[in-house]
Structure 1
Amino acid sequence: MHNSRVLLAASVGLCAVIGIWGVADPASLLTVAQRIVDQYFTSRGWFVMLSVTIMLLFCLGLTFTRFGDIRLGADTDRPDYSTPTWIAMLFAAGMGVGLLFWAVAEPLTHYHFAQEALPVPIAAEQALLAANFNWGIHAWAIYGTTALTIAYFSFRRGTPMLVSAPVKNLFPDEAWANAVGWISDFMAIVAIAIGVAGSIAMGVFQVADGITVLTGGTSATPLLVGVVFFLIVAAYIPPLLVDLGSGMAKLSNIAMAIAIALVAYTVILGPSEYLLNSIVGGIGKYIAEVIPRGLQTFTFYGSETSKWFRDWTLTYMVWWIAWGPFVGVFVARISRGRTIREFVLGVLVAPTVFSTVWFGAFGGVGLYEAIDGQGQLLAMTQTNVERMTFALLDRLPLSGLTTLATIAAAFLFIVTSVVSAAFVLGMFSTGGNPDPSVKVKLVWGGLLGILGAAMILSGSVQAMKQLIALGALPFVFITVLLLTCLVRALMLDGAKEPAHADR
């Protein structure tokens, strides 16, 4: 209990310091963040890419071994949720508002960069590949490794759903085990808090710009951004006062249904043949290059390409690592009763397929307009990325309705993410308490709001990404440690008895 109180005080204190610093002097915080992140990415970028690729190969490899038959739980347990509901829940938790924000902006930003050096068709193909890679199976391998480790130890060995629980098993000395476990939970808390705060800021920017589009404005004013921010905080505080029930899952499923409807709407009412070709071609290119791309560090491509690689791919990989403990606990909680094989295929494959369809549709419209149209969306990548999804929808019928639906989905994704994150942070910071007090959840809800405000005041999406990377850097090593814990546990348990799903 003493260690739990120290952990709560230390993690709340550090997050409060970072949040207040970001609100009081965002420029200096950003300068420090950029210096640390740039140095780390320059010297350890290879380690990040190698680590996430090993996680991917390990997870996929498990499905071909006898360990894939092991159930996450007792051998007689069966899943609590149907497979479609389970996939929708884990996808909403793992991606959420980010996909809405970057649907058009990211592929076109990559295309804007690539067209300076490559022929148009290759530049477009590489732009779509880059977006699919950044949001694809490597991200879900990070989530899957973290979630699978936590689920295995929790459901098979009865440990608390904490990052520290598997880590402690690596150290026979109790003092070392407790020290490394404490540090692991502390790093996980900081990574979650700063990562979720970035999503708050991203969602605020998008909702504010969507409202501006609906009201005929040119750009979101600081006043409107502030109003949207306070509305979001006001929306997520009341759910923190009650138990984390099925309401959050229902809201996530509504947001996910809106996202699916937006994809179908875009493909049907947009240049359908072009978009279907874009989706199929994008999937093929991604499958062909996904593993080699995971080990690509762009060493020999010059400073501009190296900077692009750091600003996008490396930042994304670290961003997913920041979300790893949060999404990991959530996915672990809803996966009891599934075999490791079912878990890996569901967590890695299904969301990746949806992401490639998503970028193939929205990115395809953007590339179509950039190559065969007037290029207004392409120009917007340099001035207002927050508006690009809405600008695309404005080119299709019923734009008012779809803009409103996008705003609603973004709002729901933010609220459900923050409520779930405050719950997980409360659980982590109180030694694994499965029902953290309302007071603790409110403290974390307030701190997430302060950190979100610091992200907003940083002044740009790129600055926000730097701050998220800063918070996640220490946790990169913990994810590798978690993978080691899982491998060791499977080897030890597998040596005792054969692995079977049904006995």
Structure 2
Amino acid sequence: MSNELSRNGVAAKSSAKLIFALFITGGIAVWGIADTKGLADLAQSVVGFYFTSRGWFVMLTVSVLLITAIGLALSPYGRIVLGKDGDKPEFSTPEWLSMLFAAGMGVGLLYWGSAEPITHYLIARDYMGEGDAATAALFATNFHWGLHAWAIYAIMGMIIAYFSFRRDCPTLLSTPIELVFGKRLWTRSIGWLSDVMAIIAIAIGLGGSMAMGVFQVQGGIESILGIAPAGLSLTLTVFAVLCAAYVLPLLLPLDRGMSLMSEAAMVIAGALMIFVLLAGPTHYIMSAIVEQIGTYISDVLARGFVTYTFFDKRVGHWFQDWTLTYMVWWLAWAPFVGVFIARISRGRTIREFVVGVILVPTVFSMAWFGTFGAAGFYDILRRPTGILAVTEKDPAYTSFFLLQSLPLTTVTSIATIVAAFLFIVTSVVSAAFVLGMFSTGGNLNPDRKVKLAWGIVLGALGLVMILSGSIDAVKSIIALGALPFVFIVLLLLVCFLKALKTEHPK
């Protein structure tokens, strides 16, 4: 009788969590559709105030996460298995690493490959020479996508994997809080709030990525057809096709087919990078990559503590709009990516996990941005007003403009569109699955109706981001949804370290 009452209590709590989370995210979507400018203005105002007053805290948090991850890998705790002692990894190392790439990277790489380094260059050249500006721009891009970003994912993935597979607990963010501090009123309240905040952060973050993907696909179509920007009509058409593409997978189990789509997208992206490297100015690109490796290794840890306190307002705004926004963006994706990474990492030691999740993707992202960024800078030397003007007007067109200077323009542009489309479809389906799991008490197989409901909400949030018409507004809305999670991830880290201490009490 008591077990039945317990199960009923869990079911009731899960239903309440699902209803509340759907209500909040659905309400944000409705508000954004009805008053897109109002939501964007509020997001930019709140985020701007928070970044001005607490930007130092964000940088301190992500730096602590990175240093903690490195410390765990180098310590005796690095030998602890994320699972039961004796568990073996489910996937081979090459399979595991290939799936890691698809987890936290995707359409952002395609969208910002050349556009981000060039955007930073446009600001940096006013403060230093062109060569130094290019070096600083590539370093800033690598910093945004490198060790600190993947440390956020790694810490969250370790926490989820440890408590799920080694302690046999539900795959929820509330689990570590209640297990370590006991089931009390305050722990249950904070745990419940943590689950809900994670759901909101994931949903809003995924909506922003959907918008970037739609903008990228639209830019590619217009470039291939050689037409002027078609405006909202083409945007909504691409969005409708995207929604139709992910509805069917939502009604099916999360099987090998989704994994194949992710892997296909990564293969296409990798082939694009190699093509640009070989068809473009190879010596120039390789020189830039080698130089960036040295610069990154020597400066990356110190950069994690830089807050640009004594610079002018323009640099301060850049710091908020890019570095701080990126850090909270990764925090928004951390529960989603963390669950995925945890599921494929059972049986790995903490040391293996840290090296695989943080170091390997960072190396890939440096190669990616080094290739596309250096190719963009080389294009600036030949056509000073070309790619700079395109990037300033709309970053979604930068990659396609760059590809026009290389052979097989149509083929590579189509490949970019296909990769972006695949990344978004797989991300939406996977996110709907994770959101369904979080909102139903950690159910590893959420009901199709729940996944479909989240698919509808994600589509609505994506539409909000698209209607904002500005990538800056998209970034601000994502940051707004992720701000509370900055505090939650630190609490989860404390729980994780306290739990690890019981493994080696001496």
TM category (shorter chain) comes to: over 0.9
Equivalent residues, number: 496
The residue number in structure 2 matching 1:75 is: 85
> Which deviations, in whole Å up to 9, do the C-alpha atoms of 1:134-166 show, x marking residues without a partner?
011100000000000110111110011111111
The amino acid of 2:304's aligned partner reads G
In structure 2, distance between residues paired with 1:35 and 1:373: 37
In the TM superposition, residue 380 of structure 1 has moved relative to its aligned partner by 1.5
In structure 1, distance between residues paired with 2:494 and 2:87: 26
1:330 equivalenced with 2:331 (yes/no): no
The residue number in structure 2 matching 1:198 is: 208
SS in 2 for 1:431: coil
In structure 2, distance between residues paired with 1:207 and 1:84: 30
The residue number in structure 2 matching 1:234 is: 244
Gaps of at least 5 residues in structure 2 are 1-10
In the TM superposition, residue 494 of structure 1 has moved relative to its aligned partner by 1.5
The residue number in structure 1 matching 2:397 is: 387
Q: Residue 493 of structure 1: which of 484, 494, 503 is its match?
A: 503
In the TM superposition, residue 374 of structure 1 has moved relative to its aligned partner by 2.9
Q: Any conservation in 2 of the 1:369–1:375 contact (CA below 8 Å)?
A: no
Q: Any conservation in 1 of the 2:387–2:398 contact (CA below 8 Å)?
A: yes
SS in 1 for 2:74: coil
Mean CA deviation greater in 162-171 or 308-317? 162-171
Mean CA deviation greater in 67-76 or 356-365? 67-76
1:255 equivalenced with 2:230 (yes/no): no
Mean CA deviation greater in 210-219 or 182-191? 210-219
1:464 equivalenced with 2:464 (yes/no): no
In the TM superposition, residue 218 of structure 1 has moved relative to its aligned partner by 2.2
1:136 equivalenced with 2:146 (yes/no): yes
In structure 2, distance between residues paired with 1:91 and 1:167: 30
Mean CA deviation greater in 216-225 or 275-284? 216-225
Q: Residue 19 of structure 1: which of 25, 29, 38 is its match?
A: 29
The amino acid of 2:358's aligned partner reads L
Q: Residue 162 of structure 1: which of 172, 188, 203 is its match?
A: 172
In the TM superposition, residue 74 of structure 1 has moved relative to its aligned partner by 1.5
In the TM superposition, residue 170 of structure 1 has moved relative to its aligned partner by 3.7
Change (3 A) 1:282 1:375: farther
Q: Any conservation in 2 of the 1:169–1:177 contact (CA below 8 Å)?
A: no
SS in 1 for 2:504: helix
In structure 2, distance between residues paired with 1:68 and 1:103: 34
In the TM superposition, residue 172 of structure 1 has moved relative to its aligned partner by 2.9
> Which deviations, in whole Å up to 9, do the C-alpha atoms of 1:196-219 show, x marking residues without a partner?
000000000000111111111122
Mean CA deviation greater in 374-383 or 134-143? 374-383
In the TM superposition, residue 406 of structure 1 has moved relative to its aligned partner by 0.4
1:208 equivalenced with 2:221 (yes/no): no
In the TM superposition, residue 117 of structure 1 has moved relative to its aligned partner by 1.3
In structure 1, distance between residues paired with 2:183 and 2:440: 23
Q: Residue 5 of structure 1: which of 11, 15, 29 is its match?
A: 15
In the TM superposition, residue 439 of structure 1 has moved relative to its aligned partner by 0.4
In the TM superposition, residue 2 of structure 1 has moved relative to its aligned partner by 1.4
TM-score w.r.t. length of structure 1: 0.97
In structure 2, distance between residues paired with 1:494 and 1:420: 36
In structure 1, distance between residues paired with 2:464 and 2:394: 20
In structure 1, distance between residues paired with 2:43 and 2:142: 27
In structure 1, distance between residues paired with 2:258 and 2:174: 26
The amino acid of 1:383's aligned partner reads K
In the TM superposition, residue 372 of structure 1 has moved relative to its aligned partner by 4.5
In structure 2, distance between residues paired with 1:463 and 1:87: 33
> Which deviations, in whole Å up to 9, do the C-alpha atoms of 1:7-48 show, x marking residues without a partner?
111110011111011111101111111111001101111111
In structure 2, distance between residues paired with 1:140 and 1:375: 35
In structure 1, distance between residues paired with 2:235 and 2:167: 47
Within 5 Å, which residues of 2 pair with 1:256-295? 256-295=266-305
In structure 1, distance between residues paired with 2:211 and 2:187: 36
Mean CA deviation greater in 401-410 or 170-179? 170-179
In the TM superposition, residue 80 of structure 1 has moved relative to its aligned partner by 1.1
In structure 2, distance between residues paired with 1:109 and 1:370: 12
1:378 equivalenced with 2:384 (yes/no): no
In structure 2, distance between residues paired with 1:85 and 1:137: 21
Mean CA deviation greater in 414-423 or 73-82? 73-82
1:356 equivalenced with 2:343 (yes/no): no
Within 5 Å, which residues of 2 pair with 1:44-63? 44-63=54-73
> Which deviations, in whole Å up to 9, do the C-alpha atoms of 1:84-119 show, x marking residues without a partner?
221221221101110100001000000001111111
The amino acid of 1:309's aligned partner reads F
In structure 2, distance between residues paired with 1:220 and 1:332: 42
Q: Any conservation in 2 of the 1:237–1:442 contact (CA below 8 Å)?
A: yes
Q: Any conservation in 1 of the 2:391–2:397 contact (CA below 8 Å)?
A: no
In structure 2, distance between residues paired with 1:170 and 1:341: 23
> Which deviations, in whole Å up to 9, do the C-alpha atoms of 1:364-400 show, x marking residues without a partner?
0111122344331112121021100111111100010
In structure 1, distance between residues paired with 2:501 and 2:196: 28
SS in 1 for 2:169: coil
Within 5 Å, which residues of 2 pair with 1:432-447? 432-447=442-457
Q: Residue 95 of structure 2: which of 85, 88, 92 is its match?
A: 85
1:483 equivalenced with 2:493 (yes/no): yes
The residue number in structure 2 matching 1:316 is: 326
1:172 equivalenced with 2:147 (yes/no): no
SS in 1 for 2:236: helix
Q: Any conservation in 1 of the 2:379–2:402 contact (CA below 8 Å)?
A: no
The amino acid of 2:29's aligned partner reads G
In structure 1, distance between residues paired with 2:300 and 2:230: 38
SS in 2 for 1:253: helix
The amino acid of 1:131's aligned partner reads T
In structure 2, distance between residues paired with 1:494 and 1:448: 43
In the TM superposition, residue 193 of structure 1 has moved relative to its aligned partner by 0.1
In the TM superposition, residue 335 of structure 1 has moved relative to its aligned partner by 0.3
In structure 2, distance between residues paired with 1:234 and 1:399: 28
The residue number in structure 2 matching 1:414 is: 424
Q: Any conservation in 1 of the 2:84–2:165 contact (CA below 8 Å)?
A: yes
The residue number in structure 2 matching 1:499 is: none
> Which deviations, in whole Å up to 9, do the C-alpha atoms of 1:203-262 show, x marking residues without a partner?
000001111111111224211110100000000010010100111111100000111111
